[in-house]
Amino acid sequence: MELQAVLMAAGGGSRMTDLTYNTPKAMLPVGNKPLMWYPLNLLERMGFEEVIVITTKEVQKMMSTDPKMKLDVKMKLDVVCIQEDGDMGTADALRHIQQKIKTDILVVSCDLITDVALHEVVDLFRAHNATLAMLMSKAHEFTETVPGQKGKKKTAEQRDFVGVDQSGKRLLFMANEADLEDGLSIRKSIMRKHPRMHIKTGLVDAHLYCLKKAVVDFLADNKQNPLKLCECFIISTPNSALPASLSLLFFPHPELLISSRDEPLLQLAQDRSCWNDHRGDMSEAYHGGKLRCYVHIMDEGPCYRVNTLAAYIEANRLAPKLFEEVPVHPSAVISERCQMGSDSYIGAMCQIADKTSIKRSTIGNSTTVKEKVKVANSIIMHGVTIEEGCNIQGSVICSNAVIGRGADLKYCLVGNGQQIEPEGKDHWHEHTP
């Protein structure tokens, strides 16, 4: 492949710590597969044969024993471990692997689940010789009730303001609502070049990027700038559509980021061509800009960042349907007297007893469900034991938990390895370590 693939799988899942306290985000079960399986599958379907995986030693150890990772993933995984307690963002992680980067790169987050036509992003990157091309999707309004949050005021998500040109493809600026103290300011020079700019809200950064190799080199050479990846390209400032670091260091000499060996030929072809990327003025293509960012906005189809509890619940509903999973794993043992809905999924080595009812739920691997148990609208992770006569509704039960006989759980979040006493009646409660 002309691009090297990089999977970011070291994030701690700070927005859903109840789930990631004992299980790293990358290995959280979604549809009975590790979360990181989904972006790896996306890359494999697109023809990649090797992926650099930036992760922690804990995740690496879990990857080596997980059957889905061992059997389903055929690509070569070049695993690079970083410190587990380090606060290393995407830019820092790319600095860490700079010596391994030989070409332009495709960076994907481990929490992305999508069936996007990946060539849409790559083609933008190629066609415009872009510095960056990224994927965004429409924001999702999750409708499922989140366990443990009854009566809690929903935290308002800070909106992103995304500016694109008339084509809807060239990214001109991106600013978060939290960073705007006195309103949204756009420099006149940008407005002169793009008088019909579209400002969009309701979009989510999918954390899938095509990047020039020179960007990684720049990050490695400027370790004193602790910026997030997107901040290395786009920010709404009085100076430009680029961040202060790039504006001050590179804007006078943007050719420093254009290091492709084919660049002279590309520039010659552009100079001798009558093609232009815009209308309305006589300026040269791209208005002479050397740093070019593009965005593919996915209007339809699934595209989720599984980085909150609400998104995790929704992903467990979506993922099995997306990949047409068989409802019951062949190794699971299910009683003929079990009532199972068509929208439920039973994992490997499960044992489901008589007179049980499982509806709109996911049951993880090696889970035991005893007699007269009702499970509805719930996610049961791996190795859970549910004793006889329990009623579980709208809940998330983390791995290795034990639910005592006759317990009645409604919209509960039970932490990893926790035990619920027999006959326990916990409504809208949260059991965490």
pLDDT tens-place string over residues 39-90:
999 999 999 999 999 999 999 999 999 888 888 889 999 999 988 765 677 8
The answer to whether residue 232 sits within a structural domain is yes
Token readout for 348 is 């490997």
The answer to whether residue 404 sits within a structural domain is yes
pLDDT per position as a tens digit, 93-136? 888 899 999 999 999 999 999 989 899 999 999 988 888 999 99
**pLDDT surpasses 90 at 198:** no
Is 168 found in the same domain as 27? Answer: yes
Is 356 found in the same domain as 398? Answer: yes
Report whether 156 contacts 139 (CB < 8 A): no
CATH of the domain at 394: 2.160.10.10
Q: What is the DSSP letter of 170?
A: B
Is 351 found in the same domain as 313? Answer: no
Q: Which of 95, 123, 118 minimizes the C-alpha distance to 215?
A: 95
Is 403 found in the same domain as 300? Answer: no
Last residue of a domain, one of 279, 298, 321: 321
Domain limits at 414? 327-420
Is 366 found in the same domain as 309? Answer: no
Last residue of a domain, one of 281, 302, 321: 321
Token readout for 295 is 């965005």
More confident residue, 178 or 366: 366
Last residue of a domain, one of 304, 321, 338: 321
CATH of the domain at 127: 3.90.550.10
The answer to whether residue 204 sits within a structural domain is yes
Is 165 found in the same domain as 18? Answer: yes
What pTM does this model have? 0.83
Question: What pLDDT, on a 0 to 100 scale, did the predictor assign at position 275?
Answer: 46
Is 112 found in the same domain as 48? Answer: yes
Is 202 found in the same domain as 113? Answer: yes
Is 141 found in the same domain as 55? Answer: yes
When divided into structural domains, the chain yields a total of 2
The answer to whether residue 399 sits within a structural domain is yes
Per-residue buried b or exposed e for 338-363, using 16+ beta carbons within 10 Å of the residue's own CB: bebeeebbbbbbbebbeebbbbebbb
